[in-house]
Amino acid sequence: MRVERLILEDFRNFTRAEFLPAPGVNVIYGNNAQGKTNLMEALYLLTGQRSFRPSRESDLVRFGQSQGIIEADFFAGGRSQNVRMVLGGGRKTVSLNELPVQPSELTGRYFAVVFSPTELSLVKEGPAQRRSFLDSAISQVMPRYLKTLAAMNRALSQRNTVLGDMSRFAGLEGMLEVWDRSFAKMAYSVIHARRRYIRRLSPKAGEVYKGISGGREELTVAYQCTIPGNWDAMTQQEGEQAVLEALAANRGEDLRLGFTGVGPHRDDMDLRIDGISARSFGSQGQQRSCALALKLAECGVIEEIAGERPIVLLDDVLSELDKKRRDYFLSDIHGGQVFLTCCDSGSIRGVTRGMTIRVDRGQLRSRRVTEGRASRKTDKEEAQDVPASGTGHGGTHQ
């Protein structure tokens, strides 16, 4: 898919902005705190998912305003479509092709994968980051997964409350068992979905990693489950039983600590380069390459399942990478639409086809790039770039 037009109104520090992205690489540049990440965030929010940076819904609306709008024309499913998201009052109101829809219904219609510096440390950080990568990747291709995950977390939190109460009150075993059963049911579904997703992701990540490492290293991805058992061969009933048995075996420890020590909320994704743990032994470069490979593989899985290549949003990550890895991203390997941010457009060489967009205090100015040279945009684009707020034209091109 590709975004053909983006309009922002009272979104973050944008009063009004509009631009027509190029189908290839779009380089968004400007000084610090001008709105580059805000622009990436707007493009991402149209997936219907929560923002990739921690914020409240109300933070998205420009200070002092009650309502903000993100609107895009995009091409997907073989046709031009329109999505409009109105933010304000602590909720999102969405319409797709002028029909009202729930934000979750955008999943499967509008696809974006975001890559920010936090994700560069996906490999070396703790398991929570890898679980969150997995959960958000799965929810893009299986929207109902988020509901299952939320139901599991509710059962988990109830179970933990009962565990805490049991140190003070007697006779709560029956209640604990109720929550054990409810947790086991959801936990099985979460483990099953994660394992199935990794089966698709692993060969793709391996392929990308091979490309990045020049064919010298091999990456494998596996699900590391805290519930013992042969998960390859289990039916749903056997899986739920395995969770119940693990909870029973761990009950003493859970009671002592006051929380549940086994289950999908403690699982991990095992990443190995040539059979050796990337987290424990990978070099900085290997760990970053591994994170890149996972993200590109995520795009591959979406394309395989939905038949659409997602737009790729690279926020501030290219400066962190060496030239080889940078070129890998900027080359045609991705083949789709890419948006990337940096402070200095000169630092991005190698873009032969696309657009540069300068962001200056929430205003946009764009230029097409043909064969590595930036050219002035057409009059029509110029007219569309000028913010309707009339507060000026932003900065000049550099």
Which of 16, 36, 194, 326 touches ligand ATP by CB under 6 A?
A: 36
User: If binding is defined by CB under 6 A, does position 33 make contact with ligand ATP?
Assistant: yes
Helix (H, G, I), strand (E, B) or coil at 108: coil
User: If binding is defined by CB under 6 A, does position 34 make contact with ligand ATP?
Assistant: yes
- Smaller CB separation from Mg ion, 60 or 243: 60
CB 119 within 8 A of CB 297: no
- Smaller CB separation from ligand ATP, 116 or 287: 116
User: If binding is defined by CB under 6 A, does position 90 make contact with ligand ATP?
Assistant: no
For 284, the token pair is 């900085």
CB atoms within 10 A of CB 106: 21
For 277, the token pair is 């743990």
For 30, the token pair is 């400007």
Task: Name the strand (E) or helix (H) holding 276.
Answer: strand 276-277
User: If binding is defined by CB under 6 A, does position 343 make contact with ligand ATP?
Assistant: yes
Rounded-to-integer distance, Cα 245 and Cα 196, Å: 23
Residues contacting ligand ATP: total by CB under 6 A? 17
Rounded-to-integer distance, Cα 143 and Cα 60, Å: 23
345 binds, among ligand ATP, Mg ion, none (CB under 5 to 8 A by kind): none
Radius of gyration over alpha carbons of the chain, in Å? Answer: 23
Which stretch, 26-34, 162-170, 209-217, 287-295, contacts ligand ATP (CB under 6 A)? 26-34
CB atoms within 10 A of CB 274: 13
35: CB partners within 8 A, 6+ apart: 12, 13, 14, 359, 361, 362
190: CB partners within 8 A, 6+ apart: 145, 148, 149, 152, 264
User: If binding is defined by CB under 6 A, does position 38 make contact with ligand ATP?
Assistant: yes
User: If binding is defined by CB under 5 A, does position 37 make contact with Mg ion?
Assistant: yes
Which of 54, 63, 98, 171 touches ligand ATP by CB under 6 A?
A: 63
Percentages helix, strand, coil for the chain (3-state, rounded to 5) are 45, 25, 30
- Smaller CB separation from ligand ATP, 12 or 272: 12
Provide, rounded to whole angstroms, the least separation between the CB of residue 8 and ligand ATP. 11
User: If binding is defined by CB under 6 A, does position 13 make contact with ligand ATP?
Assistant: yes
Which stretch, 36-44, 108-116, 190-198, 378-386, contacts ligand ATP (CB under 6 A)? 36-44
Provide, rounded to whole angstroms, the least separation between the CB of residue 39 and ligand ATP. 7
Instruction: Give φ, ψ of 340 to 5 degrees.
Output: -135, 145
Provide, rounded to whole angstroms, the least separation between the CB of residue 95 and ligand ATP. 22
Q: Which positions from 284 to 323 touch ligand ATP by CB under 6 A, shown as an x/- string?
A: --------------------------------x-------
Instruction: Give φ, ψ of 7 to 5 degrees.
Output: -125, 130
189 binds, among Mg ion, ligand ATP, none (CB under 5 to 8 A by kind): none
Which stretch, 35-43, 97-105, 274-282, 369-377, contacts ligand ATP (CB under 6 A)? 35-43
Q: Which positions from 367 to 386 touch ligand ATP by CB under 6 A, shown as an x/- string?
A: --------------------
Rounded-to-integer distance, Cα 376 and Cα 398, Å: 12
- Smaller CB separation from ligand ATP, 17 or 134: 17
Provide, rounded to whole angstroms, the least separation between the CB of residue 343 and Mg ion. 9
Instruction: Give φ, ψ of 22 to 5 degrees.
Output: -80, 155
Helix (H, G, I), strand (E, B) or coil at 88: strand
Rounded-to-integer distance, Cα 394 and Cα 365, Å: 7
User: If binding is defined by CB under 6 A, does position 59 make contact with ligand ATP?
Assistant: yes
The residues of the shown chain that bind Mg ion, judged by CB under 5 A, are: 36-37
Kindly list the residues in this chain that would bind ligand ATP in the complex (CB under 6 A). Answer: 12-13, 30, 32-38, 59, 61-63, 316, 343, 359
